[in-house]
Chain A
Amino acid sequence: MNAFRLLADLTHLLSIIILLVKIRTTKSCAGISLKTQDLYVLVFISRYLDLFTRPLSLYNTPFKLVFLATSITIVYYMRYHKVVKQTYNKDSDTFKHYFLILPCAVLAFFINPKFTFIEVLWSFSIYLEAVAILPQLVLLQSSSNIDNLTGNYVFMLGAYRALYLLNWIYRFFAEDVVRWIPWIAGLVQTALYADFFYYYIKSWRNNERLKLP
């Protein structure tokens, strides 16, 4: 454990808290992609099946349970809550997210640490997480008005993987750890946010409302 890793996980947790606060206090999920949220549920279920096979950890296990519970809660709100579901921008959430699943599954089938059920699912979850933000970014680009909570949510979600990159660099030098699969996927995942980061920071510096061109 190092400071980058701790900060990364807390940032990830904070992003989820921001989204839940937005949904619960404003009773609105406007600007949030249900497709991205669906993909996160799939990511966490396929990655954290190891809850059943791995010894409990005081640090990892609570995080895993929280990520599973909150991602399912968010999807539940967006699909079934009678007020929240009416605020969902269904017509703008156009990304064909099912087309992300198959390539990630094929990639996981061929590129994995070990060809076992748990390891292939773990690899699938890493690849899928890397691209799961795409429907959300597409939805934001079609939004003329991005509210602060939504902007902060996406920023924190991107910052989390960027901090993992620092953690991996640290671990490479300090612990001699090499993990090509999450590293390359994490690099792709962070790169997808580059454009968003640019406009987020620009709007923050100019004290303007966030808008993607």
Chain B
Amino acid sequence: SAEALKHDEL
């Protein structure tokens, strides 16, 4: 999903 592609964590 698009949500999963965000990778806002380190």
Contacts and interface: CB of A to CB of B under 8 A. Distances in A.
Specify whether A and B are partners: yes
Interface residues of B, number: 8
A114 B3 CA distance: 11
Nearest to B8: A60
Contact of B10 (A9, A113, A177): A9
A12 B4 CA distance: 23
A167 B8 CA distance: 12
A45 B1 CA distance: 24
B10 to A, nearest CB: 5
B7 A177 contact: no
A64 interface: yes
Nearest to A57: B8
Contacts of A113: 1, 4-5
Interface residues of A, number: 20
Interface string A3-44: 001000100100000000000000000000000000000000
Nearest to B5: A113
Contacts of B7: 50, 54, 122
A196 interface: no
A64 B10 contact: yes
Interface in A130-184: 164, 167, 177-179, 181-182
A177 B5 CA distance: 12
A55 to B, nearest CB: 11
B5 A182 contact: no
18 contacts: A12-B10, A50-B7, A54-B7, A60-B8, A60-B10, A63-B10, A67-B10, A113-B1, A113-B4, A114-B4, A114-B5, A119-B5, A122-B7, A164-B9, A167-B9, A178-B3, A179-B4, A182-B9
